[in-house]
């Protein structure tokens, strides 16, 4: 049997033995050792497939809101107008009343409707069974 040495690779394992990819098998024994990285090469961490959208600010537009989950407390608007959870404000086009809310992103086109919390509906004077049109502003 002959051993072949390839530049930069170490000694190949004996025929029939298996070593993990990137491992070096010692010349004097069958010990498998991990191969070190060349100088200047660092490990790369996995990058998430999709980074959250940056927070927006200012006037985001107008949306039609329905009553969201009445059992979920708080002042919030679930809307496709934002890509990340952030503070904001909604103002009823009909009553002119406004309230600070947490804007929570949901899937869908920007023209899709939104869902408003029970407390926020009450704060802007909107009928709970209606579909109020609200102006949405990011940033408080």
**Are 64 and 34 found together in one domain?**
no
Contacts of 107 (CB under 8 A, 6+ apart): 80
State yes or no: pLDDT of 14 exceeds 90.
Answer: no
**Are 97 and 133 found together in one domain?**
yes
- CB neighbour class for 76 (10 Å; exposed up to 12, middle 13-18, buried from 19): buried
Residue-wise pLDDT tens digits, 67-93: 999 999 999 999 999 999 999 999 999
**Are 109 and 77 found together in one domain?**
yes
Residue 53 domain-assigned (yes or no): no
**Are 87 and 121 found together in one domain?**
yes
Question: CATH no. for residue 109?
Answer: 2.40.40.10
* 28: containing domain: 1-38
Residue-wise pLDDT tens digits, 88-127: 999 999 999 999 999 999 999 988 999 999 999 999 999 9
**Residue at token pair 């927070």:** 55
């Amino acid at each position: 049997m002959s051993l072949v040495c390839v530049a930069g690779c170490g000694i190949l394992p004996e025929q029939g033995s298996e070593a993990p990819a990137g491992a070096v098998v010692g010349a004097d024994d069958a010990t498998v050792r991990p191969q070190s990285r060349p100088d200047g090469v660092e490990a790369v961490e996995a990058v998430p497939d999709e980074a959250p959208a940056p927070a927006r600010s200012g006037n985001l537009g107008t949306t039609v809101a329905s009553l969201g989950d009445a059992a979920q407390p708080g002042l919030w608007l679930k809307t496709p107008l934002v890509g990340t959870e952030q503070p904001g404000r909604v103002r009823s086009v009909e009553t002119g009343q406004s309230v600070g809310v947490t804007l929570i992103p949901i899937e869908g086109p920007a023209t899709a409707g939104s869902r408003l919390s029970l407390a926020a509906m009450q704060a802007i004077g909107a009928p709970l069974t209606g579909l109020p049109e609200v102006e949405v502003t990011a940033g408080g």
